[in-house]
Amino acid sequence: MKISAKGRYGLAAMTYLARNYASGSPITIISISEKLGISKIYLEQVFSLLKRARLVNSIKGSQGGYQLAREPREISAYDILSSIELSLMEKAAPASEKMPELDRALNARVFDPLDAGIHETLSHVSLDDILTAIDAEKDADSLMYFI
């Protein structure tokens, strides 16, 4: 399975907002763009989808920007990707219009379990979990080994 750049950027940007959630200050797209090295125009498209899904709130004005609409522990990777990766969550077209039993069998044995597995996995990973993993990676990188 391949997640598009838009989906990956959405996860990264939302994780950045989660890291700054406690400050209560809105974060601008420009600062996210600079920090993560992602195109501002591309991020605007991503945030439009995230806002439509009510995952972020936008604050207008000179001190404006974006904030998470809920706490980081309440937003899952599934929430984010399902708002951005629209094709990932669509039902596939029938494999065979002349053999409906083949299509039903493929759905029952392959595609429905796959969809359920994706939903199950992504629903159990919150932004908080991703932040914890980032901190663990930082800690692992900072370890020094001596012989």
Looking from the CA of 120 toward its CB, the CA atoms found within 13 Å total 6
* pLDDT computed for residue 88 by the predictor: 74
Task: Tell me the CATH class for 5-142.
Answer: mainly alpha
Gap between the Cα atoms of 105 and 102, Å rounded: 5
pTM of the model: 0.86
Reading the chain (147 residues) residue by residue, the pLDDT tens digits are: 688 999 999 999 999 999 999 999 999 999 999 999 999 999 999 999 999 999 999 999 888 999 999 999 999 999 999 999 987 767 777 777 788 899 889 889 998 998 899 999 999 999 999 999 999 988 776 665 656
